[in-house]
Amino acid sequence: MEILNTNQIHFDFIEDNVRATSIEDIFQHVEAGLKNLDNKIRFRRIKKVLRLGHEDTSYTIGNGIAVLNAKTFGVNRKVIGFLRLSKPIDFKADDGKQCDLIAVILSPQHHGPLHLRRLSRVSRLLKDTKMVDKLREAEDADVLKILLGSPDAADNSNDVAKAA
């Protein structure tokens, strides 16, 4: 069983300057991120679940942020990703704002409570206006990785200073 550290969220992939004009484009970027992690991930199934979720409800949490999430048989472990778009796109947000920051949370079907905790933690992180401002102002993917605590973050003190 996975133990969740309340102070840290592990992002498996982080992409910056993503060029997308539609939600289908976002799905393609998510698929690429997943293929880099594990080529056994069944993205066709994941995309179907994400698309159905988008049709049934809004993935947006306001302020130009969307959190795509699904429990699916398409993954055998949790995956959390983050995309910063070069230009915002319409996600049918309740507040009418187009989205430029997108988190992705995928969990195995049997991870019900764990999935909800991940969704809650990522949503809280992205509701923090100071963090959101830093994410939008970050110079590049390296700074995003530092801000989001990715293990791939550059170990350069100048980057850490920029992110702080």
The average pLDDT across 101-118 equals 93
What is the set of domains in the chain, with CATH numbers? 13-128 (3.40.930.10)
**pLDDT reported for residue 150:** 59
Q: Minimum mean pLDDT among 7-21, 34-48, 84-98: which range?
A: 34-48
Strand order through the sheet with 60-62: 13-18, 79-89, 99-108, 65-72, 60-62
Q: Minimum mean pLDDT among 14-18, 98-102, 151-155: which range?
A: 151-155
Token digits of residue 73: 């048989």
Residue with the two structure tokens 């507040």: 95
Pairing of strands 60-62, 99-108: unpaired
- Other residues' Cβ atoms within 10 Å of the Cβ of residue 19: 9
- Other residues' Cβ atoms within 10 Å of the Cβ of residue 15: 18
8 pLDDT band, cuts 50/70/90, is confident
Mean pLDDT of the chain: 84
pLDDT digits (tens, 9 = 90+) for 22-73: 989 998 899 888 888 876 788 888 888 887 776 667 789 999 999 999 888 8
Of 36, 34, 44, 45, nearest to 78 (Cα)? Answer: 34
pTM beyond 0.75: the answer is yes
